[in-house]
Chain A
Amino acid sequence: MKYLDEYRNEEMARKIVSEIRRIITRPWVLMEVCGGQTHTIVKYGIDHLLPDKVELVHGPGCPVCVTSLEMIDKAHTIAQRPDVIFCSFGDMLRVPGSEFDLLVLKSRGADVRVVYSPLDCLKIAKANPDKKVVFFAIGFETTAPGNAMVVWQARRQGIKNFSLLVSHVLVPPAMESILKSPLNRVQGFLGPGHVCTVVGYKEYEPIAERYHVPIVVTGFEPMDLLEGILMTIRQLEAGTAVVENQYPRIVKREGNPAAQELVKKVFEVCDRKWRGVGSIPQSGFRLREEFHEHDAESIFAVGKINTQEPSICISGLVLQGVKKPHDCPAFGKQCTPEHPLGATMVSAEGACAAYYAYGRHLQAEKKALHPV
């Protein structure tokens, strides 16, 4: 398939890997920021192609994983109301709150629907004027414009029975919180390609400079990842620390100004709790006051719900790149996608779930990792 097969090419992969082998002189720890990148790495076995000197640790960029437990409990409280149609992206349905997940609520009769675009919610709202339609607006800067647009359109079209439960998070504060941590091991970043499609990468330049860390904005296909890794290692070996763009077919330095404009009109920056990590100042979006009639948190008065994370799993450390999924004693045993104990197992994009789905918990793989 055009524009895809080119980025999944075995011969090209071999070339990039041998170039990485040629230039690398010492061990380096790289973090891919996005869950989508982690997914590609494990799905294609990229980490097994790389020389041992390259260690990949997996970043916090899985929006489903980092959505706080209390926000999920708020979602469940709202979704249980008989007057509500609760809409969500698909992979949020399996994320457990304190008591259950949305799939269970659905089986008990709650009207929970998976949408591909938040704009679908407006159609649902128009078709069900006697119901309150709520969309669970999670995600990084990538999904913010779409979510801003749906609120903007709801107001423009006078659709009163639609609201957003907002749990947006931002990448740069999370990266800084990793870099500031005394436990930090990350020496270079594969930057978030789709986030930068929206916001550009200007705001990453001060981070690269302040922490002397190379950041290579990277795409999501296997060739993107391999090239991003090569570019980061080139910088590390040369001792430079700048922002580079591996993903120019999509990402511009200034991003998408129209999208940014809309996001600014609808959302404002706020402090935000991250599941497994805790509160990070100025790391999220909330709706601006003028859109309060579309703010589900105030409409359904769930603002006071306050939940503590169970202290069982090490997902916080996994999200910060300090630990790997298989470092956790519960991984693949008590903690599986059927029974996720923590943030990084709940979404398909979470590092633990990706390790699990692609069989890293299965002992036999080690032996058979390099077949034929």
Chain B
Amino acid sequence: MSEEKTPDQEAGLLAGSCPLPLTNYKEIVLAHGSGGKLSQQLIQKVVLQQFRNEFLEPLHDGAIFTVGGARLAFSTDSYVVNPIFFPGGDIGKLAVHGTVNDLAMCGARPLHLSVGFILEEGLPMDEFHHVVQSMQEAANEAGVTLVTGDTKVVDRGKADKIFINTSGIGQVRDGVVIDPKRARPGDKIIVSGYIAVHGIAIMSVREGLEFETEIASDTAPLNGLVDAIFATGKKVHVLRDLTRGGLTSAVTEIAQSAHVGVLLNEASIPISEEVKGACEILGLDPLYVANEGKLVAIVPSNHAEEILSAMRSHPLGQHAAIIGEVTSDHPGLVLMKTRIGGSRVVDMLSGEQLPRIC
């Protein structure tokens, strides 16, 4: 933004008529990885531009395709987190849970995982050992096997202790089609429990904040909860695990992809007292804070109560709640009835959520 430009030049520059792939960021900034609008732009304008194909295009949690008559789900995710050990988990657990959950959100039973480690020179051996052990425990819990892997070491300072990539395959249940595009007006939106827990757990360690009760990450494998949902025999249109970008990004992406509106009810969104308090102190909106062990299920209205009660009888769904519904009004937009009876749009953040000054 320089002062010599006329408004027209400025507008032309920013309207994106030129072939510049992104925004006016000439380099990657952290916000490109925040799960908000810049992440979306990066994927749409750079990645999808090159890789475009029918399996990738739905931008679901994983790709679904048929091999020799079997419908398979395939998903990958990379994990970078500081600190690598935090209350409630560590980077190893996250790496297994994340991919297991992505597969589960495709309606699949997760089967096998691969793992790639990028290790920074100087990482204490016992820390690496701890991470690997923790991954095996997580795999046992989720009923998956780590079947192939790779290890690379880079110079000190070229990575932050340890980066992990996991990919996984799973078999999609017979007759099950889970797709963000299937959200239909009238469907109910169920969230599986307290939101924003993981992000606040990480942040409280990073900021050295101490609360009366420790906030531990909610990282967990969700395939068991998904089993419980399907065991009801009821219909499920969409499953989505909440990760970075929080509840907002997940719901907005679904609304955009299915061209439907979403109406949330702020008062019914489950948030624990500890997390509410931490968000107030940190100046953050829990709707945008990361989760690792929560999902939203979008289900036909007449099946919602049964699915909800099945979720509530599972240990990972005790605090599940119906938080809103899909509408035919305002397609692509998420509106929320606020706690005091007003209304507002809930939109993805453009970058990272930054703490406000006052």
A residues sitting closer than 8 Å to B (CB atoms) are: 1, 4, 8-10, 12-14, 36, 39, 42-46, 48-49, 63-64, 89-94, 96, 98-99, 103-104, 106-108, 114, 116, 138-140, 142-143, 194, 222-223, 307-312, 330, 333-334, 336-339, 341, 347-349, 356-360, 362, 364-365, 367-372
Contact = CB atoms under 8 A, between A and B. Distances in A.
B329 A368 contact: yes
Given A44-B338, A44-B344, A338-B350, 14 more contacts: A49-B342, A89-B356, A90-B354, A91-B354, A98-B3, A310-B5, A334-B10, A339-B24, A358-B344, A358-B347, A359-B333, A359-B346, A368-B335, A370-B343
B141 to A, nearest CB: 33
Contacts of B329: 364, 367-368, 371
Contacts of B342: 13, 44-46, 48-49
Interface in B299-353: 329-333, 335, 337-347, 349-351
B49 interface: no
Nearest to B343: A45
B28 interface: yes
A348 B358 CA distance: 11
Contact of B357 (A48, A139, A330, A358): A139
B223 to A, nearest CB: 33
B3 A45 contact: no
Interface of B: 1-3, 5, 7, 10-11, 14-15, 23-25, 27-31, 37-38, 207, 261, 263, 267, 273, 276-277, 280, 282-283, 329-333, 335, 337-347, 349-351, 354-358
A362 B1 CA distance: 25
A312 B10 CA distance: 9
Contacts of A98: 1-3
Given A49-B340, A63-B358, A103 B29 contact: yes
A362 B331 CA distance: 11
A287 B185 CA distance: 60
A43 B338 contact: yes
Contacts of B357: 63-64, 89-92, 138-139, 143, 347, 349
Contacts of B27: 104, 107-108
B256 to A, nearest CB: 12
A330 B345 contact: no
B263 to A, nearest CB: 6
A10 B358 contact: no
Contacts of A309: 3
State the 5 A-B residue pairs at the shortest beta-carbon distance, nearest first.
Answer: A359-B345, A45-B342, A90-B354, A364-B330, A90-B355
A80 B10 CA distance: 26
Contact of B344 (A43, A63, A341): A43
A143 B354 contact: no
Contacts of B277: 1
Given A338-B351, A359-B347, A368-B329, A143 B358 contact: yes
B2 A45 contact: no
A370 B351 CA distance: 29
B67 to A, nearest CB: 40
Contact of A338 (B37, B263, B276, B358): B37
Contacts of B351: 94, 103, 337-338
Contacts of A99: 1-2
A339 B23 contact: yes
Contacts of B344: 42-45, 358-359
Nearest to A356: B347
A114 B352 CA distance: 12
A107 B29 contact: yes
B280 A337 contact: no
| Most chain A beta-carbon neighbours within 10 Å: one of B27, B276, B282, B341 | B341
A41 B7 CA distance: 31
B252 to A, nearest CB: 11
A369 B343 contact: yes
Contacts of B2: 98-99, 310
A89 B11 CA distance: 30
B11 A334 contact: yes
B358 A36 contact: yes
A307 B3 contact: yes
Given A46-B340, A368-B329, A91 B335 contact: no
Contacts of A223: 340
| Most chain B beta-carbon neighbours within 10 Å: one of A63, A98, A139, A358 | A358
A75 B341 CA distance: 42
Given A337-B351, A359-B333, A194 B358 contact: yes
Contacts of A362: 330, 333, 345, 347
B330 to A, nearest CB: 4
Given A116-B207, A368-B330, A349 B356 contact: yes
A371 B358 contact: no
5 contacts: A9-B339, A99-B2, A107-B28, A114-B355, A371-B337
A338 B23 contact: yes
Nearest to B271: A1
Contact of A49 (B25, B267, B282, B341): B341
